[in-house]
Amino acid sequence: MNSIIDFCTECESKNIEEISRVEELDIKGEKIAVTVTYWHCKDCGWDFENLKSGNNYIATAYRIYRERHKMLQPEDIKELRKKYGLTQGELAKILGWGLATLSRYEKGALQDSAHDNMLKILKNPDNLYTLLIDYPDILDAKRYSEILKNLTTTYRINSLSDNLVKKCFSYPESTYSGFRKFDYEKFVNVILFLCKNGALKTKLNKLLFYTDFKHFKENTLGITGLKYSHDRFGPVPIYYQSLTGSLVDEGILQVNEINYGAIDCNTGSPIIGEEYKSSVEPDMTVFSLAELDTLYKVKQHFDNWGSIKISEFSHQEDGYKETEIGEEISYKYAETLSI
């Protein structure tokens, strides 16, 4: 007898035997038949379960239920996550779940059908790619770029920039785009110009905003064709994380973590900033003389400004004050721009 418990828990007799019987468990309204192993005392007739025997019949019932409904098993979920090089925390964020939920599923808890369908959808790398493009702020910039690069190289998905422009920046010219169609080439070289000596993410977003809006103020035309929206820290380009991610993915922009040496009071974690730095020289020939003039003026004006100062400065712009979180900012507000 390979029992850890070698006596009856009722009468303490050692005259016990291991027996099995089939029982029906109710799993989400369905009867699942499983074999249950327990101990029987020959002296007093007491039946008791040996919890240390490893006989997890509930897990067996869950596995049968999943097989019936063609659901992913725990090892399938874990394999799916590792296929893309994701941690539990990263996949949970991408799916909009709590970390504990995903962890329970990988350990054998029975997932609901909606969650199972979401996981099945991600078996196609194109769907994970699309989800990341739609929600570019789910992960920090460095991991976001690494995961996108892995998708494009491992699964031969088209380059991020091609997909991004087609999916997110095919909007018509309007007052929200500075009366320009999105110009990826000019966008890239504006970024390379502004990040030549490095620029923190928050400051970079504001520099882009002031570059486009100042040019519109003086020429009734933007430079990049970007749209901007109202964010907590000031105006930002739409899909800005994906935009910078595309440049990191293609190796023309670096992203580095900057430790400020301070602790976040809410999480207790170190406060980390993200600095972007150009890996190649910008091609200034793509710009007109008027655009070059705007670029140099904006860069010079904010040259010694930190992220907090430029962020607070942008909060005073009418385009920011008269819009709400997530709302697009019309270039008509360039008329009252502070610079």
Average pLDDT over residues 217-245: 91
In this structure, is residue 238 part of a structural domain?
A: yes
In this structure, is residue 117 part of a structural domain?
A: no
Q: Is the pLDDT of residue 2 over 50?
A: no
In this structure, is residue 11 part of a structural domain?
A: no
Per-residue confidence at 216, pLDDT binned at 50, 70, 90?
A: very high
Rounded to 5 degrees, φ, ψ at 334 are -60, -25
Strand ranges, E, within the chain: 16-27, 30-41, 47-48, 199-200, 228-231, 234-237, 253-263, 270-278
Higher per-residue pLDDT: 245 or 32: 32
Q: Is the pLDDT of residue 324 over 70?
A: yes
In this structure, is residue 332 part of a structural domain?
A: yes
Structure confidence at residue 267 (pLDDT) = 61
Same domain, 45 and 171: no
Higher per-residue pLDDT: 163 or 45: 45
Contacts of 272 (CB under 8 A, 6+ apart): 140, 257, 258, 259, 260
Structure confidence at residue 291 (pLDDT) = 96
Among 6, 26, 56, the domain-final residue is: 56
Instruction: Give 92-96's long-range contacts (Cβ < 8 A, gap of 24+).
Output: 93/138, 93/139, 94/128, 94/131, 94/132, 94/135, 94/138, 94/139, 95/119, 95/122
In this structure, is residue 81 part of a structural domain?
A: no
Per-residue confidence at 150, pLDDT binned at 50, 70, 90?
A: confident
Most confident of 129-133, 272-276, 286-290: 286-290
Half-sphere exposure of 210 (CA within 13 A, CB side): 27
Higher per-residue pLDDT: 171 or 258: 171
Nearest to 131 by CA among 145, 121, 120, 117: 121
Structure confidence at residue 20 (pLDDT) = 83
Average pLDDT over residues 99-116: 94
In this structure, is residue 139 part of a structural domain?
A: no
Structure confidence at residue 30 (pLDDT) = 93
Give the Cα separation of 131 and 331 in Å (integer): 29
**What confidence tens digit (pLDDT) does each residue in 17-58 have?**
888 888 899 999 999 999 888 888 989 988 877 655 556 788
Domain count, the chain: 2
Domain that holds residue 280: 156-336
Q: Is the pLDDT of residue 3 over 50?
A: no
Same domain, 52 and 160: no
In this structure, is residue 263 part of a structural domain?
A: yes
Average pLDDT over residues 163-190: 87
